[in-house]
A and B are shown apart, each in its own frame.
Chain A
């Protein structure tokens, strides 16, 4: 069975500093995808970044990068130069390659950015 674990219920970071949000996963599938979503206090789910298990390079999207360590089964999100607007819940999720729309989510990490 697939499982996503986010061990940090809450984190604080100073504005303009970088922060790493941890995510480990468990799967026996050879091909899978990993996602990070942001949920601000307004409640919507915002896609941040995607990493395929077959991708050789770590994914990057602007200030977001995914530190993908396949052997350790970790997919940590790195946010560089934190901004006050980054304060939100962050969810890690995964899916099997051929199971579109069927994501398994972690419990989330609440990030607070301090001015």
Chain B
């Protein structure tokens, strides 16, 4: 299994440009999320989805859009890139909640490093 696949791994944008970070998982997980990681701040949730067609905002959603048309894919769109969006982005997925089980594991992609000039 490939797990969670993110593309691209690296991207440089100019202020105002738009782009889409792709995320795909092949584990049939219900839940998918996008996080950003900035130095000294841990990971912060941008958007998440509990299933196809259902998305919701996380802690830092401004400037980002998501959609979930299939179980497998959860792309993150930057509408008009700003230098403040320079960060490492992680996509993650998780199967449905299973009580009393170590299966409550969020599996991460390898990350996408974005630089906005």
Contact = CB atoms under 8 A, between A and B. Distances in A.
Interface of A: 4, 33, 35, 37, 43-45, 47, 50, 52, 54-55, 59, 91, 93, 95, 97-98, 100-108
Contact of A107 (B41, B93, B94): B41
B30 to A, nearest CB: 7
B116 interface: no
Contacts of B58: 102
Given A45-B43, A45-B108, A93-B106, 18 more contacts: A4-B42, A35-B105, A37-B108, A45-B90, A47-B105, A50-B102, A50-B104, A97-B97, A97-B99, A98-B97, A100-B50, A100-B96, A101-B92, A101-B93, A103-B33, A103-B106, A105-B42, A107-B40
Interface in B43-65: 43-45, 48-50, 58
Interface in B66-117: 88, 90, 92-97, 99-100, 102, 104-108, 110-111
Contacts, number: 74
Contacts of B102: 50, 59
Contacts of B110: 43-44
B32 interface: yes
